[in-house]
Structure 1
Amino acid sequence: MESRQSLAVAEEGLGDDDVNLPRAAVNKMIKEMVPNIRVANDARELVLNCCTEFIHLLSSEANEACGKQQKKTISAEHIVEALKSLGFGGYVDEVNEVLTEHKKETKQRRKASTKLEKMGIPEEELLRQQQALFAQARLEQAQAEQEEYLKWQQAQQMMQQQQTETHEEGKSSEEATTVAAAAAATTTTTTAPPAPVPETATATASSRTDGNDDEDDYECE
């Protein structure tokens, strides 16, 4: 009970984000477990709270087991004992498998660190090389993104140019059609046949001509 009270007191000075699991990690685990099902936000929040509460309960129980053995450090054995005492004994085998895998990975990391130490490369130099590699990777990524943007921009310009040329060609074709139609109309107007003379005008002209002939005959007499 004292260990649980001490944990509660320690958490009073922390915010919700400080005592909860990372949301991104929990969301990733949910997506891996149910990839084809959409999980609502309130359900994600509930899973996050349940995981956090479970870790608090397990830590408190492991702390009590550690105190009973008069130890100052909670070990993996204390976690296993806490699982059993809380009724989660069915998870002990999986926990032991994860613990074995973790020990192997830790051993491999130590070997790699020892090799680097034997090579005589200081840790500061390794850190500098790592930062240089990160900077180079960011620069290459930026250059690749810039090239992709330029390609996209050129493609857009070519598309706009093609659209402009197509529009100009259509406009020129319409103007040529208009000029041809106007020329055809002008030619038709020029070659049109003369209008027919009314019959009344012809008769009047004939009568005038006959009258003139009579006058000529009279003068001759």
Structure 2
Amino acid sequence: MPPKGWKKYPDGFKPVNSSGAPLEERPVYGIQDLLLPRQSILKLAKEVLPEKTPLPKDGVTALLRSCTVFISYISAEANRIADRSGRKIVGPADITAALEQLHMGAFVGQVQQLVEAMKQQQLEAKQKGTSVDAEDEIDDDAAIPAGAASGDAKAPEVEQASSQSEQAMEIDD
């Protein structure tokens, strides 16, 4: 006799839902489903490689997969760091700490330079009066919500909270 919630079928026992129909198996996501955009990676690779360097199909596939795994690995560790410190936001400091913890400290300098360059671009755009996309903004306190896709969640108002805590400190002094 099958266990409760299971039904016998010609190919064996299967779990069933409340109406008695067999449950469908959930799709398993593989690396193919998570790959970064091919053209973006090719463009970056061609910027680094000498001109007229051919990229074989297998090489492009290996590059796509390794980039996806690298970014997933770093972001997972940065999420853990943010969670341990009681925050739901992953910031540039979490990314650099993740690189250090994963023994990839050689990249920290480059990441910090890119963050500073982005901040400089934001400052110049603000002075010119042009707006910078919200996705392109990088602040010390705000970045990507942990575990959320880009644009799915908004960062909390960190500046207001910090200014209120500063005012409270002034009153206490």
TM, length-normalised to structure 2? 0.54
Report the CA distance shift for 1:94/1:52 in structure 2 as closer, same or farther (over 3 A): same
1:109 deviates by 2.2
RMSD across aligned positions (CA): 2.4
Q: How does 1:141-152 map to 2 (within 5 A)?
A: none
The one of 13, 36, 42 equivalent to 1:27 is 42
Q: Which residue of 1 aligns with 2:73?
A: 57
For 1:49 and 1:105, the matched residues in 2 are separated by 31
Q: Secondary structure, in 3 states, of the residue corresponding to 1:70? A: coil
Q: Output the CA distance in 1 between the equivalents of 2:116 and 2:89.
A: 19
- Counterpart CA distance in 2 for 1:114 and 1:45 is 39
Asked if the contact 2:31–2:65 (Cα under 8 Å) also holds between the matched residues in 1, the reply is no
Q: Which has the higher helix share?
A: 1
1:66-113 Cα deviation digits (max 9, x unpaired): 011101100000000000011100111111111100111112222333
- What does 1:20-99 align with in structure 2 at a 5 Å threshold? 20-34=35-49, 35-99=51-115
Partners of 1:74 and 1:64 lie apart in 2 by 9
Aligned length: 104
Q: Pick the structure with greater CA Rg.
A: 1
More RCO (CA 8 Å, sep 6+): 2
**TM-score when scaled to structure 1?**
0.43
Q: Residue 72 of structure 2 aligns to which amino acid in structure 1?
A: H
Distance in 1 separating the partners of 2:67 and 2:42: 12
Q: Give 1:93's aligned amino acid.
A: G
Larger relative strand fraction: 2
- Sequence identity of aligned pairs in percent? 26
CA distance in 1, matches of 2:128, 2:39: 30
